Amino acid sequence: MTKLFEQARLLKPAAPATMLRAVWPLFAVIALAVVLQAVLKPWLETVSGGDFYAKVLLDIGINIILAVSLTIVNGFTGQFSIGHAAFMAVGGYTAAGIVYYGSMYFYGDAAPHAGALSTMIQDHHSGAIFTRGDGLYVISLIAGGIVAAICGLVVGLPSLRLRGDYLAIVTLGFGEILRVLIQQSADVSYDAAEIRAAPIVGLGQLFSQPRAEWQAPLWARLGGPLGFSGLPFYTSLFWVFIIVGITLLVAFRLKNSTFGRAFLSIREDETASEAMGVNTTRYKVWAFVIAAFFAGVAGALFAHTTGVQLSAQELGFQKSFDIIIMVVLGGMGSISGAAIAAAVVTILPELLRDPTRLVGWQPQIIGITLLAAAIAAVLRYKGRSAAFLWSIAFGGAGLCVLTWLGYGIVKLADATGHPLDIKLGDYRMIIFALSLILMMILRPQGLLGVREVWDKALWAKRAKQGGKP
């Protein structure tokens, strides 16, 4: 048998076609992001009469980035990291420092100097499409990612030699230490003149001045326990969904390449993987670094979102748990599953906060239910079973019935003159927790298992998994 690379040389495909194939998804992502920003956002604003829906969409986007990046570590390589939010914090604070102090440096204030692409509030931009402020913001996104990735490397290199749960514990410890360090940082300065005068790195003064005269350098002025306030809000649907697209693209291409198989083999059996020539430590660290990078970018996006106060407490391990929940609900190793779960987990508490909104969405829910049922029926007619579609249809129908039932009960109670005094909002986290537990018991492999939504095997008959309890 010839050597693999000799064989590959013979197979070299046509260059232009390959390049086109490699690049078009990127253009598609950019186009989609422009449409979201320019068309969908104004529409959502007219629908909801505010930026509520757009904001939820934004949160969904950020959560998708987080969930998909964590999938690379938890889902692909099977390592259990529970400090993902810490990388988010690293990226967020790095980007916040760059944008805030950069803004102060260049403009003298920290208001957003944004173009049309990076604004969430209509008519708030200067008319240009891309401004210098945007440039600063984009640089901060990349820098946030890179610093987070470096942290990932520093944490990952020693701890990925450890097996199993210990990695989880170390990532947890890392997150907690980071939180304390950030909380000990000095206050943010609001004075442009002072900022211009302050040292940026400031290590020189360690040797030159008496301690009492030390000035906190800019990198250590991150707002302490109260959080980093006064950040300009640059994050828009456009930027979030560009990053979502890139994250998904990277994740899919990794998964479907030889590296993806290497990652998955580590999850399946580390010893066998190593024996088959996969340098397991190296790939675990790689997965960790890539995931940390995207978490850092997500943190940077998060930091510049309207209505968000960037604080270390916010990005503690509770947030890490949220991300893990998304990954597990979606199915370990399923990218589309993680993305869907991220969307569901973001929407669900919002829905439960005000269930009457559901009533307004009845036509859409009924539509999706009927559509899913119809496609499932057609597939059935063609001799293929579509358990997944059926479950969507049943879920939708159940949601409809529940909504109307709840609505009816509330109305009935109102009519009898004893309005119900149950605030569903109080119970939403309980319902959420219960559904999480139920999900683990009833469908332990998550929504999609390792499959993607479009995998044939997901739609095929269940017969082969018959042995599973």
CA 396 to the chain's CA centroid: 25
Q: What is Dmax (Cα atoms) for the chain?
A: 84
Q: Which stretch binds another protein (CB under 8 A): 3-11, 228-236, 380-388, 399-407?
A: 3-11
Judged by beta carbon, residue 348 or residue 377, the one nearer another protein is: 348
Query: Minimum distance between the CB of residue 286 and another protein, rounded to whole angstroms?
Result: 7
Judged by beta carbon, residue 123 or residue 464, the one nearer another protein is: 464
Contacts (CB under 8 A) with another protein, residues 421-450: 426-427, 429-430, 432-434, 436-437, 440-441, 444, 450
Q: Which stretch binds another protein (CB under 8 A): 9-17, 136-144, 234-242, 391-399?
A: 9-17
CA 185 to the chain's CA centroid: 27
Q: Are 296 and 87 in contact (CB under 8 A)?
A: yes
Q: Going residue by residue from 251 to 280, which x/- string records binding to another protein, judged by CB under 8 A?
A: --xx--xxx-xx-xx-xxxxxxxxxxxxxx
Query: Minimum distance between the CB of residue 88 and another protein, rounded to whole angstroms?
Result: 17
Indicate which single residue of 81, 94, 131, 159 sits in contact with another protein (rule: CB under 8 A): 159
Judged by beta carbon, residue 136 or residue 289, the one nearer another protein is: 289
Query: Minimum distance between the CB of residue 296 and another protein, rounded to whole angstroms?
Result: 17
Query: Could you say whether residue 459 binds another protein (CB under 8 A)?
Result: no
Q: Are 107 and 296 in contact (CB under 8 A)?
A: no
Judged by beta carbon, residue 79 or residue 189, the one nearer another protein is: 79
Indicate which single residue of 316, 330, 331, 337 sits in contact with another protein (rule: CB under 8 A): 316
Indicate which single residue of 100, 239, 286, 293 sits in contact with another protein (rule: CB under 8 A): 286
Contacts (CB under 8 A) with another protein, residues 317-336: 317-318, 321, 324-325, 328, 332-333
Query: Minimum distance between the CB of residue 256 and another protein, rounded to whole angstroms?
Result: 8
How many chain residues are in contact with another protein, going by CB under 8 A? Answer: 87
Query: Minimum distance between the CB of residue 200 and another protein, rounded to whole angstroms?
Result: 24
Contacts (CB under 8 A) with another protein, residues 162-191: 162-163, 165-166, 168-170, 172-174, 176-177, 179-181, 184
Indicate which single residue of 19, 31, 226, 387 sits in contact with another protein (rule: CB under 8 A): 19
Contacts (CB under 8 A) with another protein, residues 50-109: 74, 80
Indicate which single residue of 158, 307, 383, 417 sits in contact with another protein (rule: CB under 8 A): 158
Q: Which stretch binds another protein (CB under 8 A): 111-119, 192-200, 314-322, 410-418?
A: 314-322
